[in-house]
A and B are shown apart, each in its own frame.
Chain A
Amino acid sequence: MLNLLIIYFLLAVGIFLLPKSIKLQKGVLIAVVHLAAFIWFASKIQFISAEKPIILFAHWIPELGLNIEFLLDGLSLAFALLVSGIGASVFLYAHSYMKSYDYTDKFFFFLFLFSGAMLGLVMSSNLIQLFIFWEFTTVLSFFLISFFHEKEVARKAAFQSLVITFFGGLGLLAGILLIGSVVDSYSLNDWIAGSEKIKESSLYLPGLLLILLGVFTKSAQFPFHFWLPEAMQAPAPVSAYLHSATMVKAGVFLLARLSPALGGTAEWTFIVPLFGVITMLIGSYFAITQTDLKIILAYTTINALGILVLLIGIDTRLSIKAAVLFLFIHAFYKASLFMVAGFIEKKTGTRDLNELGGLKKSFPITFGIALLALLSMAGLPPMLGFLGKELIYEAKVQSPGFGSLIFIFGVISNIFMFAVSMRLIFKVFLGKPKNSYNVSKIKNVMFVLGPGLLVLLSLIFGISPNFLGKWIIDPAMSVIYAEPVKAELKLWHGFNLVLFLSLATVAAGALLSYILIKKDWIEEKWRKINKIIFPVRFPEVFSYALEKFVAISVSKTKVMQHGYHRYYILTIILFTAALLWLQLYFTRGWHLETSITFQPFYISGLVLIIVLATLFTVLTRSRIAAIIAMGVTGYGLSLIFLYYSAVDLAITQILAETLMVVMFMLILQRLPVFARLSAKATKIRDLIVASIFGSAMTLVAIKAINVDFNNPISEYFMANSYDKAFGKNVVNVILVDFRALDTLGEVTVLVVAALGVSVLLNSKKPKT
Chain B
Amino acid sequence: MNSVILQIASKYVRWLLVIFSVIILIRGHNYPGGGFIGGLLAGLSLAYKGFAFTPELLKKEIKIKPEGYMGIGLILIFISIWPGVFLKTAIMQGVWFTIPFPFTEGFKFGTPFLFDIGVFFTVIGVTLLFLFSLSYEKIWK
Contacts and interface: CB of A to CB of B under 8 A. Distances in A.
Interface stretch (A327-335, A688-696, A756-764): A756-764
Contact of B73 (A662, A669, A747): A747
A729 B66 contact: no
A728 interface: yes
B135 to A, nearest CB: 5
Contacts of B108: 726
B40 A652 contact: yes
A733 B112 contact: yes
A528 to B, nearest CB: 63
Interface in B1-47: 28-37, 40-41, 43-44, 47
Nearest to A758: B133
Contacts of A658: 44
Contacts of A761: 133-134, 136, 139
26 contacts: A648-B34, A651-B37, A662-B44, A662-B47, A663-B130, A666-B131, A726-B96, A728-B29, A728-B31, A729-B31, A735-B119, A736-B29, A736-B34, A737-B115, A744-B77, A744-B81, A747-B119, A750-B122, A751-B70, A754-B125, A757-B129, A757-B130, A757-B133, A758-B66, A758-B129, A760-B133
Interface in A650-677: 651-652, 655-656, 658-659, 662-663, 666-667, 669-670, 672
Interface of A is mostly: helix
Nearest to B92: A740
A729 B29 contact: yes
A59 interface: no
A666 B129 contact: no
B52 interface: no
A10 interface: no
Given A655-B40, A744-B77, A761-B134, A736 B33 contact: no
Contacts of B130: 659, 663, 754, 757
A256 to B, nearest CB: 41
Contact of B30 (A727, A753, A754): A727
B34 A729 contact: yes
Contacts of B139: 670, 761, 765
Interface string A531-564: 0000000000000000000000000000000000
B99 to A, nearest CB: 13
Given A727-B30, A743-B119, 7 more contacts: A652-B37, A669-B138, A726-B110, A727-B29, A732-B34, A736-B116, A754-B70
Given A659-B44, A736-B112, A750-B122, A741 B92 contact: yes
Given A670-B138, A747-B122, A758-B129, A736 B44 contact: no
B113 A762 contact: no
A704 B113 CA distance: 32
Interface string B100-117: 000000001010110110
A670 B127 CA distance: 20
A655 B20 CA distance: 14
B107 to A, nearest CB: 12
Contacts of B81: 744
A666 B126 contact: no
A735 B34 contact: yes
A751 B125 contact: yes
Contact of A747 (B31, B43, B77, B110): B77
A725 interface: yes
A744 B138 CA distance: 34
A262 to B, nearest CB: 39
Contacts of A647: 32
Q: How large is the interface on A (under 10, 10 to 19, 20 to 34, 35 or more residues)?
A: 35 or more
A741 B81 CA distance: 9
A656 B123 CA distance: 11
A755 B137 CA distance: 17
Contacts of B127: 659
Contact of B36 (A652, A744, A765): A652
Interface of A: 647-648, 651-652, 655-656, 658-659, 662-663, 666-667, 669-670, 672, 725-729, 731-733, 735-737, 740-741, 743-744, 747-748, 750-751, 753-755, 757-758, 760-762, 765
Interface residues of B, number: 51
B134 to A, nearest CB: 4
B44 A754 contact: no
Nearest to A664: B134
A142 B89 CA distance: 42
A750 B28 contact: no
A666 B135 CA distance: 6
B58 interface: no
Nearest to A763: B139
B40 A648 contact: no
A483 to B, nearest CB: 47
A292 to B, nearest CB: 52
A758 B28 contact: no
Contacts of B33: 648, 651, 729, 732
B140 interface: yes
A430 to B, nearest CB: 67
B37 A648 contact: yes
Pairs A-B, 5 closest by C-beta atoms: A728-B30, A647-B32, A655-B40, A761-B133, A666-B134
B108 to A, nearest CB: 6
Contacts of B137: 762
B112 A737 contact: yes
Nearest to A728: B30
Contacts of A655: 37, 40-41, 44
Contact of B112 (A662, A727, A751): A727
A747 B35 CA distance: 11
B30 A662 contact: no
A736 B94 CA distance: 9
Contacts of A656: 40
B53 interface: no
B129 A729 contact: no
Contact of A729 (B32, B40, B70): B32
B82 interface: no
Contacts of A765: 139
A535 B101 CA distance: 88
Nearest to A744: B77
Given A656-B40, A726-B96, A729-B29, A748 B112 contact: no
B126 A750 contact: yes
